[in-house]
Structure formats: structure tokens, C-alpha cells
């Protein structure tokens, strides 16, 4: 059994308030949880308007499945937010 861990650092320059940022984060996190049945949450930069950091984790049976799911999640994040992906970290433990 393996644990996949991903961190996305996104830049959303049009966000003007923490309330607006929270709406974007909640929407993306809910979509990730519903679509991939993973744990997802905002993990850093909660007080910064323009930067969003989301962590994703899931338990998978083997490395090949982890790689496949991480590719799908990455494409999903890219296609379901207007924010620019500044950084993406992937890890299998």
C-alpha cells in the first residue's frame, strides 16, 4: 500500500479578498474530493489573497496507480481553475 501526496501552488491575481479566495478554494477542494475520493485541503498561505496552496493525499495499492491518479489530478486542477499553476509537488510514500 502506498500514499500519494500532491501539493499545488496556484496564483490567482484577480482575487481581491480572502472571502473570494475561500470560494475558489472550497470549490476546487470539493471537486477534487468528489471526483477522485481523495483528501484535499488548503494547507498554506491562508492569509494571502493571490496565492492558493492545496494539498491532496490518497491511499493507493501500488506505484503505477499512484502515477496514473496524480496525472489525472494534475490535468483536472489545470482544467478546473483559472488560476495559474506555479508549482506542483508529487510524492509517493
Distance separating alpha carbons of residues 14 and 78, to the nearest angstrom: 17
Structural domain that includes position 25: 2-92
Domain count within the chain: 1
The pLDDT of residue 36 is: 95
- Model confidence pLDDT, tens digit, residues 42-66: 998 888 889 999 999 999 999 999 9
What's the alpha-carbon Rg for the chain, to the nearest Å? 13
Looking at residue 22, which CATH number applies to its domain?
3.30.70.1120
Q: Give the integer Cα–Cα distance in Å for 44 and 24.
A: 15
List Cβ neighbours of 12 (8 Å cut-off, separation of 6 or more). Answer: 21, 24, 50, 51, 52, 81, 82, 83, 84
pTM of the model as a whole: 0.89
* Residues lower than pLDDT 50 in the chain: none
Amino acid at each position: 500500500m502506498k500514499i500519494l501526496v500532491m501539493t499545488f501552488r496556484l496564483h490567482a491575481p484577480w482575487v481581491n479578498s480572502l472571502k473570494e479566495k475561500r470560494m475558489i478554494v472550497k470549490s476546487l477542494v470539493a471537486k477534487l474530493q468528489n471526483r477522485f475520493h481523495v483528501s484535499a485541503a488548503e494547507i498554506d498561505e491562508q492569509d494571502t489573497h493571490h496565492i492558493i496552496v492545496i494539498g491532496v493525499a490518497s491511499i493507493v495499492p501500488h506505484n503505477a496507480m499512484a502515477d496514473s491518479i496524480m496525472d489525472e489530478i494534475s490535468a483536472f486542477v489545470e482544467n478546473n481553475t483559472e488560476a495559474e499553476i506555479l508549482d506542483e509537488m508529487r510524492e509517493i510514500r
